[in-house]
């Protein structure tokens, strides 16, 4: 089957001398992996290695066998040209962190237009805005909505956040956390990227929120692994 779809580059891995195995999150078919032959040596072909930088937004034409094997890309072109995402050192650090989070969080090989549109709009927002200190917190919080474990805010006034149940409660129990970072985390729930950038956080509180969110992902996603780029991200924001 031939598909035409926007797609976001999640990960690429060198294979043999000149090939790449590329993982894309497509609008029409979810997460798919492709074998791109000869791309590391080709200078004049339709497919170039530069197309497959992390989080590049592409328009692809591909052959899908839908048998759980590597698919094949026939054509690809950049759909959205970023202005700052790869040039700004802070944003570049976020690129590697976000791509790892997507790779470690999303497994579905089926259409999910809402999730695709969230990812695409988030990346464009990051590229076009300058106040981005809380972007990774906001992105991860909003991502839980599309993965099925967004926190229940019906009792948001209560002090303890139960990470296993995904809700707030009045007394502590296993997997409950409280403190200044939870008080501040509540401000990220049910609001926009723009509003979240105005939340003032100390370095330690921002770090504590991120640590809590990664544990939250671990509890709700089977096989989830913390991103290797976390240490780089912590250096950027600390």
Closest CA to 61 of 73, 79, 53: 73
Overall number of domains in the chain:
2
Is 159 a residue whose pLDDT tops 90?
yes
- Is residue 195 located within the same domain as residue 123? yes
pLDDT digits (tens, 9 = 90+) for 107-140: 888 899 999 999 999 999 999 999 999 999 999 9
- Where residue 131 sits, what CATH number does that domain have? 1.20.1440.120
pLDDT digits (tens, 9 = 90+) for 167-179: 999 999 999 999 9
CB 60 within 8 A of CB 26: yes
Q: What average pLDDT does the structure give for the chain?
A: 93
- Is residue 139 located within the same domain as residue 200? yes
Closest CA to 8 of 67, 88, 82, 91: 82
- Where residue 40 sits, what CATH number does that domain have? 2.40.50.140
Is 45 a residue whose pLDDT tops 80?
no
What is the rounded CA–CA span in Å between residue 169 and residue 177?
10
CB 213 within 8 A of CB 140: yes
- Is residue 222 located within the same domain as residue 121? yes
What is the rounded CA–CA span in Å between residue 236 and residue 82?
21
- Is residue 169 located within the same domain as residue 197? yes
What is the residue range of 164's domain? 89-237
- Is residue 156 located within the same domain as residue 212? yes
Q: Which of 49, 80, 111 is the last residue of a domain?
A: 80
Sign of the C-alpha dihedral computed for residues 183, 188, 189 and 190 taken in this order = positive
What is the rounded CA–CA span in Å between residue 117 and residue 29?
13
Residues 6 or more apart whose CB falls under 8 angstroms from that of 154 comprise 167
57 forms beta bridges with 8, 80
Q: State the angle between helix axes of 113-128 and 135-147 in degrees (0 to 180), rounded to the nearest 10.
A: 170
Q: Which of 80, 105, 130 is the last residue of a domain?
A: 80
What is the rounded CA–CA span in Å between residue 163 and residue 22?
33
Is 149 a residue whose pLDDT tops 90?
yes
pLDDT digits (tens, 9 = 90+) for 50-74: 999 999 999 999 999 888 789 999 9
CB 158 within 8 A of CB 150: no
Give the model's confidence band at 143: pLDDT under 50 very low, under 70 low, under 90 confident, else very high. Answer: very high
Give 202-209's long-range contacts (Cβ < 8 A, gap of 24+): 203/237, 203/238, 205/180, 205/181, 206/133, 206/134, 206/137, 206/237, 207/234, 207/237, 207/238, 208/179, 208/180, 208/181, 209/137, 209/181, 209/184, 209/185
Q: Are strands 176-177 and 19-26 parallel, antiparallel or unpaired?
A: unpaired
Is 150 a residue whose pLDDT tops 80?
yes
Q: Which of 52, 80, 108 is the last residue of a domain?
A: 80
177 forms beta bridges with 161
Q: According to the model, what pLDDT value does residue 38 have? A: 86
- Is residue 69 located within the same domain as residue 130? no
**In the predicted model, what is the mean pLDDT of residues 194-203?**
95
Q: According to the model, what pLDDT value does residue 230 have? A: 86
- Is residue 32 located within the same domain as residue 118? no
Q: According to the model, what pLDDT value does residue 44 have? A: 65
């Amino acid at each position: 089957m031939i598909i035409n779809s926007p797609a976001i580059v999640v990960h690429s891995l060198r294979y043999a001398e000149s090939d790449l195995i590329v993982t894309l999150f497509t609008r029409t078919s979810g997460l798919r992996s492709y074998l791109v032959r000869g791309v590391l040596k080709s200078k004049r072909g339709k497919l170039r290695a530069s197309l497959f930088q992390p989080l590049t937004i592409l328009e692809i034409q591909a052959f899908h066998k839908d048998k759980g094997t590597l698919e094949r890309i026939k054509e690809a072109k950049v759909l959205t040209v970023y202005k700052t995402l790869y040039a700004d050192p802070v944003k570049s650090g976020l690129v590697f962190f976000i791509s790892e989070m997507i790779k470690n969080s999303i497994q579905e090989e089926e259409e999910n237009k809402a999730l695709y549109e969230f990812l695409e709009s988030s990346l464009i927002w990051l590229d076009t805005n300058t106040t981005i200190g809380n972007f990774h917190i906001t992105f991860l919080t909003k991502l839980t909505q599309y993965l099925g474990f967004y926190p229940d805010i019906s009792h948001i006034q209560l002090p303890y956040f139960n990470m296993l149940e995904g809700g707030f409660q009045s007394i502590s129990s296993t997997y409950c956390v409280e403190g200044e970072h939870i008080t501040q985390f509540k401000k990220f729930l049910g609001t926009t990227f723009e509003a979240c950038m105005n939340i003032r956080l100390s370095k330690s509180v921002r770090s504590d929120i991120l640590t809590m969110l990664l544990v939250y992902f671990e509890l709700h996603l089977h096989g989830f692994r913390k991103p290797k780029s976390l240490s780089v991200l912590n250096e950027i924001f600390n």
